[in-house]
Amino acid sequence: MKTVNIAFSPCPNDTFIFHAMVHRLVDTGDFRFIPRLYDVETLNEFALAEKFEVTKLSFHAYLHLNDKYEILESGSALGFGCGPLLVRGSTTKEIGDMTIAIPGRYTTAFMLLRLWEPSAKKIIPVRFDYIMEGVHNGIYDAGLIIHEGRFVYKKYGLEQIVDLGEWWEKETGAPIPLGCITARNSSFSEKEKNELSTIIRSSIEYAINNREASREYIKYNAQELDDEVIESHIRLYVNEFSLSLGDQGYRAIRILEKMAREKQII
């Protein structure tokens, strides 16, 4: 039995995806998985340090890894209509003059902001779940929100400046690549990486076909989110690209890398 530390976020899409495999509700072969839950930017930083054998991370961070990890076919977060939003409170400043809270310098959200508007330079990294309150309280002029933020930002009295996912789709025609599941190359053979992808896909299929099985686990980790937001979150971020990246998914990743290199972001 091979013990594998698998790191992912406490967000509903991740806990929905990984619940079955970490609780051995599907065949995990010779693998036993130990879940390690952290916010997205902490996952990115740990991946850069090669801390865990299997990890979720932002595609932006992945492009800095220099072949330390390989993207697995299953488990990624891509899609249409699911990109990060830039929101503001009462400020009337231009983008270049705004103090903008971002969920981390290695997040795909921040990469997209830089691609969309290079003049956004007054940047403050803030844990993603503190951003909306900070903008509401006037600590920051604007905030770059991810995950469930798109469902609840209006409750904080905030207004949208731009939907970066919508911008991306108009620019590229591709799904927006947000996060991926990767395996550390030094820890696995190619055969084992394929096995990991198969297990993740089985875990997703189990979750889809047994939606009540993971509910308590999801709610425990989501904490403040209500049932409607949780379900909306899962429906948006767990889709056909989660089951398999496919040609369209890999093309989207190549486009993101090409754009980032042209703008000298990576």
Catalytic residues: 147
Res. 224: pLDDT tops 80: no
Closest to 235 (Cα-Cα) out of 123, 56, 51, 81: 81
What does the pLDDT look like over 157-167, one tens digit per residue? 999 999 999 99
Res. 144: pLDDT tops 90: yes
What does the pLDDT look like over 129-143, one tens digit per residue? 899 999 999 999 999
Q: What's the CATH architecture for 85-172?
A: 3-Layer(aba) Sandwich (3.40)
pLDDT band at 196 (very low <50, low <70, confident <90, very high): very high
CB count within 10 Å of CB 4 equals 23
Measured between alpha carbons, how far is 157 from 214 in angstroms, rounded to an integer? 32
Matching fold, domains 2-79+177-262 and 85-172: yes
The Cα-based distances of 96 to 99, 142, 167 in angstroms read 8, 11, 18
Domain boundaries, the chain: 2-79+177-262, 85-172
pLDDT band at 27 (very low <50, low <70, confident <90, very high): very high
CATH superfamily of 2-79+177-262: Periplasmic binding protein-like II (3.40.190.10)
